[in-house]
Amino acid sequence: MAERVVAQIGDQSIIIESGKLAKQADGSVTVQLGETIVLVAAVAATKAKPGQEFFPLTVDYRERAAAAGRFPGGYFKREGRPSEKEILTSRIIDRPIRPLFPKGWFNEVQVQAILLSADGQNDSDILAANGASAALLVSDIPWAGPIGAVRVGRVAGQFIANPTHDQMEQSDLDIFYVGNESDVVMFEGSADECTDADFVAALQFGQQAIQPLIAAQKELAAKLGKTKRQITVSVVPDDILKAAREAIGSGILTALLTPGKLAREAACKAIETQMGAKLVEKFGAEKVTEFVIKDAFYYIQKEAIRALILDEGKRLDGRAPDDLRALGGETSVLPRSHGSAIFSRGETQALALVTLGTTEDIQEFDAYTGGSSEKKFILHYNFPNFSVGETGRIMGPGRREIGHGALAERSIRSMVPLKEYPYTVRITSEIMESNGSTSMASVCAGSLALMDAGVPLTRPVGGISIGICSEHDDNGKLGRYSLLTDIIGWEDHFCDMDCKIAGTEKGITGFQLDLKLKGLPIGVLTEAVEKARVARLKILDAMKGILPEPRSEMSKYAPRIIRLRINPEKIGAIIGPGGKNIKALVERSGCEINIEDDGSVMIFSIDEEGMRIAREGIEAVAAEIEVNKIYRGKVVSIKEFGAFVEVLPGQDGLVHISELADFRVKATEDVVKLGDVIWVKCIGVDEKGRVRLSRKAAMAERAKELEPKA
């Protein structure tokens, strides 16, 4: 039997329904706002696979072209590999639901979301996130929800919950906010230099806005009344864990405080190997499997790291909680790139390359749910195995790389004047070394590379990650905690938060929160935002020391642009029948020529001679005949009353027989013949655009110019 509930957020009605579609799934719902509808279904395997040592959660969001009444682009006319938007939406659902599954439960779980209807105004990502929570909540799958998700925008200073695409075009803020009944669970998005106070106020607004969604989900779960299944979690037996602690002793502290990431990892691996050998000797290989060894060491390692931070105030690399690692960088490191920069923060290093392209390089994509369908600013992030000193499968960008690139891209995007800047801009961030927050290093390196390329960046953007190490009581209430500025990899892995915030000296431009906790009070996040601001200003000062402002000169390898404005009526003449004229000019000049309907012309070239040929070709066709100007033209038609003379390509005028000479002319051909090239002067253009020319006036003026000067 189908059940439905309605969450009322202001004048919005979000409808959540279950029991109508996908009834064989463990839990399924449809979520609707306006005419946008998303189906979300959740299924968990009845048992873990043999030897399973991790929690295999898969979240997959897909859009169907039919939802918008369209055909997919491409030859096959069928949806294929997930788009960037589908991948980012999958990640944005995954991150808040993952920490709420039981620790040590290894049954495979799949959460699948499908866009069924798109109205072009209400985006589907918010609906998919709420649908994932509702599908898990109404199922028998063990999960500590619900959570609620809302997009927060701001138009004319007023916060808006779940703004439409039209409203988002006017918004200076875009926050995807997820929370539970009391705390923040996840957020990510971008802003136009939002102040810290306004950012925190937006989080508080989001926290209030999600409450009807959480209440509606609980109401739906109560109506369906499904009991959660009984589960068995995998934990290391107490006797083995006790023996593991005895085998390790105090050596773990020495290993953890070893300087240098690779040396620290090697020291800990050696202790783990010794511990494993002792446990096998004592309990036998059948009881002490590789998984038991790894899990026991992980638990002890995590316990020791957290004790160092909370009890002794020590971090693994010797820093105080608020200290940044050593900063460094340089620009113009690659000769052929249009702009390049290296940025280093401790053992994290990003190399950014900027490429300036033409309007032909704008990225176009299907946008079934509405919003823009093209991108003029692109940032791609690459994370090779060698950046962490490892080997592994070499393949295209995965979901993590796409997500990190998107975060860095939206952090910088608002500082690039895309409306006025004629180039398409691409940054590639190549991670050379990784030990914490390479996405924020990409923001810093990307900003420096843009300035190195001469891109008129409004202000440079820097970014930093803030972590937390915390304790909770048996009821889940937050106790002691320590916020950590500029976290390294193990502080991210063994502690509880990775809060990335990027911005300029004026405000926040990009952000993303990942928690391993079930939630965190907004008050604690407010402290993290302030620590990020202080650290960001230090980083921006260091970046100024590397390159204080955009270069005035572009790379000699970057395409140059000439902008022209022509009469829109001349566009047809420039293009020619079937594009014949413009194709010939492009071939002759080697330039790229783009002509807009309003008469705007942009010529792109790295060759000065080619640029000159293209410009002269355009100007020759687009030029207007000017009154009182002398031209040298060709006689193209003879009439009894005069001659028509072509003075500009495709443009001619009449030389009346009375204007052929300074004497009486009986017949036109007594003075000029077809094909003659003569001097003429424009003496007028009537209201219908007909041009009057005079050979007599031109000759008199030229004779005056040739008279010897006294």
* CATH label of the domain that carries residue 606: 3.30.1370.10
pLDDT reported for residue 707:
67
Could you tell me how many helices (H) and strands (E) the chain has, helices first? 17, 29
Burial class (CB in 10 A: 0-12, 13-18, 19+), 129: buried
What is the identity of the amino acid at 216? A
Q: Which residue has the tokens 């105090």?
A: 250
pLDDT reported for residue 51:
82
Q: What is the dihedral of CA 210, 214, 217, 223, to 10 degrees?
A: -140
Residues 566 and 684 in one domain: no
Domain stop point among 578, 604, 622: 622
* CATH label of the domain that carries residue 302: 1.10.10.400
For the chain, how are helix, strand and coil distributed in percent, rounded to 5?
35, 30, 35
Tell me whether residue 230 is in a domain: no
Using left for φ > 0, alpha for ψ between -120 and 50, and beta otherwise, residue 290 falls in: alpha
Q: What is the dihedral of CA 543, 549, 554, 555, to 10 degrees?
A: -20
Tell me whether residue 494 is in a domain: yes
pLDDT reported for residue 608:
84
* CATH label of the domain that carries residue 484: 3.30.230.70
Tell me whether residue 318 is in a domain: no
Domain stop point among 164, 197, 224: 224
* Residues whose CB falls within 8 Å of the CB of residue 709, separated by 6 or more in sequence, listed in order: none
> What range does the domain containing 68 cover?
3-224
* Residues whose CB falls within 8 Å of the CB of residue 442, separated by 6 or more in sequence, listed in order: 350, 352, 379, 381, 404, 405, 408, 429, 431
Tell me whether residue 93 is in a domain: yes
Tell me whether residue 135 is in a domain: yes
Question: In sequence order, what DSSP letters do the residues of 184-215 get, joined into one string?
Answer: EEEEEEEEEEE-HHHHHHHHHHHHHHTHHHHH
pLDDT averaged per 10 residues, the chain (length 710)? 93 96 97 98 95 92 94 85 95 97 96 97 96 98 97 97 95 97 97 97 98 98 94 91 92 93 95 95 92 94 95 93 97 96 98 93 86 91 95 92 97 94 95 96 98 97 98 88 97 96 98 96 97 98 97 92 86 88 90 89 88 88 86 93 88 92 91 93 88 92 72
Residues 535 and 589 in one domain: no
Residues 361 and 460 in one domain: yes
Residues 347 and 481 in one domain: yes
- At 455 the three-state DSSP class reads coil
pLDDT reported for residue 709:
59
Residues 599 and 702 in one domain: no
Q: Residue 174's Cα: distance from chain center in Å?
A: 13
Report the distance separating Cα 409 and Cα 439, nearest Å: 10
pLDDT reported for residue 206:
98
Residues 618 and 634 in one domain: no
* Residues whose CB falls within 8 Å of the CB of residue 703, separated by 6 or more in sequence, listed in order: none
In 3D, which of 386, 389, 382, 397 has the Cα closest to residue 350? 382
Report the distance separating Cα 290 and Cα 330, nearest Å: 45
Write down how long the chain is: 710
- Rounded to two decimals, what is the model's pTM? 0.88
User: What value does the CA radius of gyration of the chain take, rounded to a whole number of Å?
Assistant: 34
Residues 499 and 617 in one domain: no
Say which DSSP state 145 is in: -
Tell me whether residue 229 is in a domain: no
Residues 59 and 75 in one domain: yes
pLDDT reported for residue 364:
87
Backbone angles phi, psi at 640, to 5 degrees: -60, -30
Please state, in angstroms and as integers, the Cα–Cα distance from residue 141 to each residue in 94, 127, 310, 442, 500, following that order: 16, 20, 35, 38, 31
What is the identity of the amino acid at 259? P
Tell me whether residue 322 is in a domain: no
Report the distance separating Cα 428 and Cα 396, nearest Å: 14
In 3D, which of 257, 245, 237 has the Cα closest to residue 297? 245
Report the distance separating Cα 561 and Cα 649, nearest Å: 24
What is the identity of the amino acid at 396? G
Q: Residue 6's Cα: distance from chain center in Å?
A: 33
* CATH label of the domain that carries residue 651: 2.40.50.140
Domain stop point among 622, 642, 657: 622
Please state, in angstroms and as integers, the Cα–Cα distance from residue 226 to each residue in 77, 142, 218, 229, following that order: 40, 11, 12, 9
Domain tally, the chain:
5
Tell me whether residue 321 is in a domain: no
Beta bridge partners of 381: 429
Residues 124 and 186 in one domain: yes
pLDDT reported for residue 531:
98
Report the distance separating Cα 30 and Cα 624, nearest Å: 62
Q: How many CB atoms neighbour CB 251 within 10 A?
A: 15
